[in-house]
Structure 1
């Protein structure tokens, strides 16, 4: 999975310890205090974890918001995103300025996308997908024109990706990315006052007056457990993460003041389609039935995930879902029966990437117990193809289901003409409803042939104090700091 979906072969569920002495001091009136992990970066096209998304979503306004369940696109920095043939798209921009006072123009977007796509740190695969268009131009300051070589109805969804945020001309000229990440300049509802202070945090100041909302946000870097306790003690307004050992207590400590939301991350077990032992879908389904997802959720993954109910995670699944996919169910008896039917014998190795042993080994041990097949785990080989299943953690850069479905098929070496055609039809669909129906066909085909078995989807948690209200979150932005009332 190289070009379309960012695949990270290691666990991201460990907790980063950092000091949080500032959490001992309550925020001043009109100032919202927020506890978060140290962001790895504040470059919007490189952000992959919750804390980075929390900050960058306050500093930048995306072209649009997309709700996967309803299929609704809501324009934000864009005034409109239109097309008559789904090949030529026109994006009209609202008047806006960067926090340094320079204008945000259509050329700002075009130049940013071209420059950032060539950077080795860029973790927004949608950039490359978008730039494969026939041409992207800025006919005037308020218009972006995207000409495609084939119809694509998913363009508004692509444009909602946070990694497509514009950067000011000053940084595009200097390309001093490290300096910019320390003092980012966005186009969003908040600006960063002074540089980011690693290990400490930073202060966000609201750009335009918003009565009833916080005028400043005091971002305090620290360890989630300490932040949780500080909110409980009235010394912090909001903790943007909740560690696993506070998961159960959260429900009574903050009965009506906690929130969970889906994140754009999901775990999968990928089967080597070229390996004869796993060429039989009966075998692949047997191993899917042998995964005790609830045990993984409560154990090594520390309540930071939900057992998968479908192939697509909630952040990416078009339309409301009900029920659970058959391959997502834990059924050891059925798994053993299928392996006997296929005359399958072990041993089996489940491969993991660096630092993923904390959940891959329990996964392998659970499969051995459930299926009665000797199963061990080891790191992925540096060269060559693995001779057993591999665990994948997929981090999504866009809410378009096509990016994930095609990427999963590529990772497993799965090829099928019908799959490719249905996926192309879904991406070219004229309406969200039509696209959703076609994506379900593609998803159902993958669940039938099962080149990958869904394991879990990740979610975020937040808790807050009594003076904080209207807390909501979205998969790609996290907690919406601009919406919080005090």
Structure 2
């Protein structure tokens, strides 16, 4: 007998939580986790939270890099060093292997990076635009040597990018990236049993047992609202995203079993600085002051972001923040007065990319109301847009150099002093010195304001009482390998 379509869909939805029913006892060492569908599991092309969660369990990066302190924590690498910030040496830990049993060598990295550089993946610019190594070689199985075209202090941050993990020789030979994304083979604490089933999920199995830690993680793709309720009801252990209509309840439903962490994602309003209407910084500051960021966060962005408090998001911000971001403040009266003084009369259009219209349209409406000039929103045309544009930026590394350069480029901002600040920061002799110089560059962008910061992304998670040691970081999200049960 064939089930009606609606009933069949309900059965499929319920089966997504199979194996974690509240009527069944939890299996020892097995953790059930809810997540949304990853965009891909090809590590160099991942830029979404779900994809980073899974690939972060399947691979071990060379190191972890903290942009605030500049601290480098070696992982697959034993060390990353340089005598002059031009020639860099990466020493790998001995005995690394892929989940297919083949060894992870320095050549694995060199060949993988060569493949990444030849593609148009999310991590490709880290190699081709940021690192810009003249030479990358593997003089022996545990040594990677890089020679840059200039001194740079940012190499540890770039090499810690989660997309620069190695791929086995088999896929580098076949170049069947789609097949590999369905059955990824990494070198991390978990392997993916039986591949990834789109719309359903997959099972992570720990490679080397660790006392008290999860031995298996069952990943279930599903609706965040339903999964949140499943954790609350005891039929799911952890959900890695919290929908907007559960955001407030999270604090009472899980008072001591929820966490929030910064994501490498931020939204900006980019001004066309070459357009005479926006050549005056006063006009750009007026628009920035007219944006009610809190209303965007609570409304169309559904509590998935924080209102921007600086130009750089926390995931890419070096050092401790000092001072305030005046252009991040909503002040409609000051905005209207400043715009009137500038002589700007409008109308203008704010352009957006596909998928960003849900929050750009309310932003444009708010600008029109606060400034008293006609402001509309439209999807960005194929040619050059004739007005400001919203952009959603997802940095691939923790280096502030990448984001600052990308933002300036998007606005056509070519100030020589800013360029010199970036060059000085990159050539700095220490992480602390580089952080101070990047702050100088950030502050210049806030003064000239070719781009206005709008929001920064954050992740949420809630979990059941049986889980402990739930931790998260910006680029990998929840540390599945660290979960205790």
Which TM bucket (shorter chain)?
over 0.9
Counterpart CA distance in 2 for 1:131 and 1:326 is 33
Counterpart in 1 of 2:306? 306
Counterpart CA distance in 2 for 1:302 and 1:277 is 33
- The 3-state SS of whatever aligns with 2:421 is helix
Residues 123 and 164 in structure 2, CA contact (< 8 A), matched pair in contact too: no
**What is the root-mean-square deviation in Å for CA atoms of aligned residues?**
1.2
Residues 57-96 of structure 1 show CA distances to partners (whole Å, capped at 9, x for unaligned) of 0000000101122221111000000011000000000020
Q: Highest relative contact order (Cα 8 Å, sep 6+), 1 or 2?
A: 1
Counterpart in 2 of 1:34? 33
Counterpart CA distance in 1 for 2:159 and 2:359 is 34
Counterpart CA distance in 2 for 1:377 and 1:294 is 19
Which is worse superposed, 112-121 or 423-432? 112-121
Residues 293-327 of structure 1 show CA distances to partners (whole Å, capped at 9, x for unaligned) of 00000000000000000000000000122553001
Shift of residue 44 of structure 1? 0.3
Counterpart in 2 of 1:21? 15
Which is worse superposed, 267-276 or 26-35? 26-35
Matched, 1:59 2:48: no
- The 3-state SS of whatever aligns with 1:456 is strand
- The 3-state SS of whatever aligns with 2:55 is helix
CA pair 124-235 structure 1, distance change in 2 beyond 3 A: farther
Matched, 1:354 2:354: yes
Counterpart in 1 of 2:23? none
Residues 203-224 of structure 1 show CA distances to partners (whole Å, capped at 9, x for unaligned) of 1111112101001111111111
Counterpart in 2 of 1:332? 332
Counterpart in 2 of 1:342? 342
Counterpart CA distance in 2 for 1:287 and 1:130 is 31
Could you tell me which runs of 5 or more consecutive residues in structure 2 were left unpaired when the two chains were aligned. Answer: 1-11, 21-25
Counterpart in 2 of 1:73? 72
Residues 84-114 of structure 1 show CA distances to partners (whole Å, capped at 9, x for unaligned) of 1000000000020000110000000000000
Counterpart in 2 of 1:483? 482
Give matches, 1:367-386, under 5 Å.
Answer: 367-383=367-383, 385-386=384-385
Residues 116 and 124 in structure 2, CA contact (< 8 A), matched pair in contact too: no
Counterpart CA distance in 2 for 1:204 and 1:113 is 26
Residues 131 and 155 in structure 2, CA contact (< 8 A), matched pair in contact too: no
Counterpart in 2 of 1:389? 388
Shift of residue 396 of structure 1? 0.8
Shift of residue 352 of structure 1? 1.0
Residues 19 and 199 in structure 1, CA contact (< 8 A), matched pair in contact too: no
- The 3-state SS of whatever aligns with 2:45 is coil
Counterpart in 1 of 2:270? 270
Residues 86 and 150 in structure 2, CA contact (< 8 A), matched pair in contact too: yes
Counterpart CA distance in 1 for 2:331 and 2:137 is 54
Residues 116 and 123 in structure 2, CA contact (< 8 A), matched pair in contact too: no
CA pair 254-24 structure 1, distance change in 2 beyond 3 A: farther
TM-score, L = length of structure 2: 0.95
Counterpart CA distance in 2 for 1:285 and 1:121 is 34
Give matches, 1:403-482, under 5 Å.
Answer: 403-482=402-481
Could you tell me which runs of 5 or more consecutive residues in structure 1 were left unpaired when the two chains were aligned. Answer: 1-17
Residues 114 and 131 in structure 1, CA contact (< 8 A), matched pair in contact too: no
CA pair 353-230 structure 1, distance change in 2 beyond 3 A: same
Counterpart CA distance in 2 for 1:224 and 1:246 is 9
Shift of residue 131 of structure 1? 6.0
TM-score, L = length of structure 1: 0.94
Residues 234-289 of structure 1 show CA distances to partners (whole Å, capped at 9, x for unaligned) of 00000011011100000000000001000000000000101101000000000000
CA pair 24-185 structure 1, distance change in 2 beyond 3 A: closer
CA pair 191-117 structure 1, distance change in 2 beyond 3 A: same
Counterpart CA distance in 2 for 1:444 and 1:161 is 25
Counterpart in 2 of 1:209? 209
How many residues were matched structurally? 468
Counterpart CA distance in 1 for 2:399 and 2:32 is 33
Residues 131 and 148 in structure 2, CA contact (< 8 A), matched pair in contact too: no
